[in-house]
Amino acid sequence: MPHVDSIHNHHEHDNEGHGSTHGPGHLPTREEFEERYAQSQQIWSGNVNATLVDEVADLRPGTALDVGCGEGADLQWLTDRGWEALGIDFAPTAVQRCLDRGLHAEVADYNEFEHEPFNLVAVHYGGIPATEEGVAKLEALTSDVLVFVHHDLESDAVAMPAWLAENLKELEVVKLDKRERRVEGGAGAHHSHDVVLVAKRPTEAAG
């Protein structure tokens, strides 16, 4: 399994997706984020996450799921490049902002979301529970490629990339990198590094 030891100069433009205002050990609630969205017409920078561009730009478009889609920057980027992309977020205000942009999004709690598998599942700073059930659902939703990104933090409650890499049962880890990030604006700009996990379903099992 790859080690989290390679640092790349990486220009991160955004922090679309749901982190927590209470720190990495806290799974944020819908109420907390609804209150946060109510305070501003836009809380994220509006730019696509650079890791998504790096890891997905060369993939052939198919179906995609953006977990914790926020205000839709990543969802917009995927849609513009031919992906049949769906965003889910537990905050109704975030989803409405996606819908206002003509994007496909729905209000959903990750723990309760059910859908046929997607070719690509992208999670940036999402509050995926660090449980066996949380991992199993993530794998069940991924038919081909998983891109999972979070800040360089530790948490007992929230799944972090290194922890997830050790607990995947069906997907194979192909990349686990620690990357320097430079955010130009938006919430989360104070974080200096991200950890990026890319995992794929073995070819013989895909489809």
Domain boundaries, the chain: 7-200
Whole-number Å distance between alpha carbons of 88 and 104:
9
Confidence at residue 153, expressed as pLDDT on a 0 to 100 scale: 85
**Residue 153 bridge partners (DSSP):** none
If one counts every other C-beta atom within 10 angstroms of the C-beta of residue 83, the result is 23
> What pLDDT, on the 0 to 100 scale, is given for residue 14?
39
pTM for the complete prediction?
0.81
Structure-token pair, residue 62: 């198919």
Please report the pLDDT score of residue 15 as a whole number: 39
For position 34, what pLDDT does the model report?
76
Stretches in the chain below the pLDDT threshold 70 = 1-28, 43-45, 181-192, 205-207
**Directed axis angle between helix 92-100 and helix 30-38, to 10°?**
50
For 20-70, the pLDDT digits (tens) are: 334 445 566 777 777 777 777 776 667 899 999 999 999 999 999 999 999
CATH number of the domain located at residue range(s) 7-200 in this protein: 3.40.50.150
Question: What pLDDT, on the 0 to 100 scale, is given for residue 66?
Answer: 98
Distance CA 200, CA 195 (A): 17
